[in-house]
Structure 1
Amino acid sequence: MNQSNREFLEGLLTTPSPSGFEADVQRVWVDYVSEFADEVRTDEYGNAVAVIEGGDPAVAFAGHADEIGLMVNGVDEDGFVRLSRVGGADRTVTKGQHVEIHTDDGAIPGVVGQTAIHLRDTEDDEVEDVAEQHVDIGVESEAEARELVDVGDPITFDTPVRELQGTRMAARGMDNRVGIWVAAEAARRAAEADVEATVYAVSTVQEELGKQGAKMVGFDLPVDAAVAVDVTHAVDSPDLADEKDQHGEVELGGGPVIARGSSNHPEVVRTARRAAANEDLPVQLQASGRSTGTDADAFYTSQGGIPSLNVGLPNRYMHTPVEVIDTDDLDAAADLLAAFAAESAGRDGFAVDI
C-alpha cells in the first residue's frame, strides 16, 4: 500500500461515521473518487456513487460507510450522560473507554464510567447493558451537561489508528471503512487499467441498521452485477482457535474472502475466482448457506435480482475499538475487483445457464 493509499485509509478511519451520521466520512470518500471518476453523485440520505464510464457490462463495487457507536439517550440530574446503542455496539467493551460526543458545535470528550475493581463484587461481575452505563464529561449538573450535549448526539470511541507489526493495523470502525476503501481503490485501478466494462464504486449508509443504504441504491443502480465488500471474521486468534468448524478457516493476511452460496450468484463467484487465478491473487473461500449479513443481501433482491457477491476482508475483534486487519488483504481485494471488471468486459450479463 503506497503513501497516498494509506493516507486515504487513515482519513476514512479517523473520521467518525456512526450509522445515520455518515456525511463527514462520505465527503472524504467523494473527494478521493472525484479525482478519477467520470461522475460522482449522492442521494438524499448520503449514499455516494462514482462512475467510470466504459462498455458492457456494468459492475458495482460497494462498501458501507457507517460504523457502530453509541448515542446520547438522556442526562441525569448530576450531569452524567445516559446511553443507547447505534447498531450492534458491544456492551462488554464500552466501559472504561474514552469517547467523543459529536455535537453540532464540535466534539465533547468524555469517558464511559467503570467502577473501580476495589469497590465491585467480583464474585458477580456482570457487565451492565449499554442503557445502564453512563458517560462522564466532567460537569457537575444536568444544566451544565445540557448546555453541551443534546439527546440524539452520536458517540464514538476515541481510539487512534495503530500501526502494528508488519502490515497489520488496529482501529475502531475497520467495519467497514476498509470496504469503502477497497471499492474506491478498485475503481481507481480499473480506471488506470482502462478496463472496457463500466464500473460503479458505491459507499452506502446505514448498513449496520439493516442494509438500508444498499436498499436505496439498489432500487435503480443500472448494473449487471454488484460486489459488496465488507469485513468477515478472521478465526486465527486464540479465542477462536478451537471454533473453525463453526466459523470457517479465514486467516488474516490470507487474502480477500469469496463467499459461496445464498445471495452469492454462482456466475459472479466463478468470474471472481477466474480473475484471481489469472492474476495469481491470493483468495480464501467461505461458505454462506443462509445469508451474508452484508449489503449483498440487499442488492441481490433489488430490481428483480442483481447478480451479487460478498467479498470479505479478514478482521479480528469485530465490533470492538481494536479491530485488526492486514493491509495486504486490502490491496489484494482492490486488485481482485479491478481484475473482476476486466474479466467481465464484453460479456452479456451474468445469468445462470438453465
Structure 2
Amino acid sequence: MPKAKPWLQPMPDDQFEIMRDIIKAPSPVGLESAMTLGVLKPYFDSFMPDSWAMHQFVGNAGVVWDSHPGEDERFSVMLVGHADKIRMQVRKIGSDGKIYINSDSFLPCTLLGHEVTVFSENPDTPGEYRSLTGGTIEAMGAIHFSDPAQRTGDKGIRPNSLYLDLQIHGENKADQIKRLGLQPGDPILLNRPIKRGFSPDTFYGAYLDNGLGCFVTAEVARLVAEAGGTKKIRVLYAIASHEEIGRFGSRVIAGEMAPDVLIAIDVNHDYVAAPGIGDRNMQPLEMGKGFTLTTGAIVSEQLNARIKKAAAKEGIPVQIDVSGRDTGTDGMASVLASVDSAATSVGFPTRNMHTISESGHTGDVLAAIHALKATLLAMDKEKNLDQAFRTSHPRLDQTETISHQGFEKLEKKKTK
C-alpha cells in the first residue's frame, strides 16, 4: 500500500504544536531572540547532527544553522524565514491615562478591541525587559461618541487616534502609567496564538507572517537530517531579523554567508478569497491548492525549474505567483547585499495578512516543507552544481515554436 502523502493528510498534533510555539514566540522587530534562541534553538538541538553548527551575529538576533560549518568553498543553499513580527509601539502617555501608540504595518481599524501584551525595558536596568497584559487597543470608545461618518463607514480610523487602554482610573492617571516604567518605543504585540480552524486542515491567529516561514525552515532541516543530511551541498537554515522594515536582517546574513542559492520562505496571499480585488486580475492563488513559487523580479528561473521538477516528481501541488520588480520577501536579500546567488521565494496562500485573524491551510505548509526537502536532496545528487547553475540560464533564442493546440476542452488533472 503506498505511503500517504503528508500534504494530503491533517497535520499531526505534535507537529502543529511545534508550529504554534514558533509562531507565538514574542519576537517584534529588533527583539527576535525569543523565537530564534528561545524556541528554534532547542528544537534544532533536538534533531540536528553534531557536525552542524549555529552562527550568531553581532548586530541582530538572526541565526543560521549550518550543515557544513567552515566549508566556504562548498556549494551552498540558504533557506530563509524571518522571525520579526510587525508590532505596535508606545508613542505618548496622555494626561488622562491613555497610552497613544503607533500602528506600524497594521490597518488601524483591524486593531480595535484586541488584547495585547506590552514589552517594556526596565528604566532602572537597561537591557532587562518586563511584560504587561490586560489592556486593549481602542480609538473611539463607545459608538455613541463616534463621528456620524464613522458609523456609516464614510470615515475611517486615523492611526494617530489609536491608544492602549489599561482601564486606568482614579487620581494621577498619567503618574500611574509612568510609575509602570512604560516608555515611548516599547513594543506591543497582539495576544492571539494560532488555533485549528473550523474548516478541515485550516488554522488561524496572529503572526503567521512569518513564524510560518521559520517553522517550514526548521521542518525542512529536520527532514533532511533524518534522511541522512546532504553530502555535496552545504545547507544554511537561516532565521532573519528586520524583514518587516526592509529585509535588513536577511541581507546582512546573505552578505556574511554569501550563499550560492537563496530561497526565501514567507507567507503569500489567497487572492481568490481576498475581498474587493476582482478587477485587479490577480493570479488566482488559493488556500488548500499547494505551496506558491514566485516568478519575476530577481527570481532565477533555473532554480525555479529544479523546485518544480522536484515537486512534480513527488506529486506535490505548486501554484505560480507573479512578482514585478520586487518579490516582497527575503528573496531579495542577496541582490540587496550585492551577493551573486540564484534566488527565489516559496510561500503559502494566507488570508487577512497583518491582522489578528490570519488564516492558512496546513496542507500548503506541508507541501512547501516536502517540496523543499525534495529539492535539496535532488540538488545534492547533481554533479558540479556551480557550473550547472552558471550554464543553465534559459535561452530564449533557442525556443520551440508553438502551434495551435486544438479546440477540445482541457481535462483538469486530479491530485493523487
Pairwise CA distance, 1:46: 0.5
Structure 1 pair 163–244 and aligned structure 2 pair: CA distance change class (3 A): farther
Partner residue in 2 for 1:186: 220
Structure 1 pair 157–200 and aligned structure 2 pair: CA distance change class (3 A): same
Consecutive unaligned residues of structure 2, counting only runs of 5 or more, are 1-10, 121-128, 394-416
**Is 1:150 matched up with 2:183?**
yes
**Is 1:232 matched up with 2:261?**
no
Structure 1 pair 214–352 and aligned structure 2 pair: CA distance change class (3 A): farther
- Bigger Cα displacement from structure 2, 309-318 vs 292-301: 292-301
Q: Is the 8 A contact 2:205 2:356 kept in 1?
A: yes
Partner residue in 2 for 1:248: 283
Pairwise CA distance, 1:7: 1.7
Partner residue in 2 for 1:348: 385
Partner residue in 2 for 1:29: 40
Query: CA separation in 1, counterparts of 2:274 and 2:392?
Result: 44
1:7 aligned to which of 13, 17, 22: 17
**Is 1:161 matched up with 2:172?**
no
RMSD (Å) for aligned C-alpha atoms: 1.9
Pairwise CA distance, 1:244: 6.1
**Is 1:46 matched up with 2:61?**
yes
Q: Deviations over 1:74-109 (max 9, x none)?
A: 1011111011134x1221211222211112222232
Q: Is the 8 A contact 1:267 1:352 kept in 2?
A: no
TM-score by length of 2: 0.80
Partner residue in 1 for 2:404: none
Partner residue in 2 for 1:93: 110
Partner residue in 2 for 1:265: 300
Q: Deviations over 1:52-76 (max 9, x none)?
A: 2399532111111111120011101
Partner residue in 2 for 1:133: 162
How many corresponding residue pairs?
A: 352
The structure number with the bigger radius of gyration is 2
Question: Whose strand proportion is higher, 1 or 2?
Answer: 1
Partner residue in 2 for 1:106: 131
2:148 aligned to which of 108, 119, 122: 122
Query: CA separation in 2, counterparts of 1:304 and 1:76?
Result: 47
Secondary structure of 2:84 counterpart? coil
Consecutive unaligned residues of structure 1, counting only runs of 5 or more, are none
Structure 1 runs, 4 residues or longer, greater than 6 Å off = none
Query: CA separation in 1, counterparts of 2:190 and 2:285?
Result: 27
- Bigger Cα displacement from structure 2, 171-180 vs 124-133: 124-133
Structure 1 pair 326–143 and aligned structure 2 pair: CA distance change class (3 A): same
Pairwise CA distance, 1:320: 0.7
Secondary structure of 1:340 counterpart? helix
Q: Is the 8 A contact 2:242 2:248 kept in 1?
A: yes
Amino acid aligned to 2:189: T
Structure 1 pair 107–15 and aligned structure 2 pair: CA distance change class (3 A): farther
1:212 aligned to which of 239, 245, 248: 248
Structure 1 pair 353–216 and aligned structure 2 pair: CA distance change class (3 A): same
Query: CA separation in 2, counterparts of 1:222 and 1:255?
Result: 30
Amino acid aligned to 2:266: D
Kindly, what percent of the aligned residue pairs are identical? 25
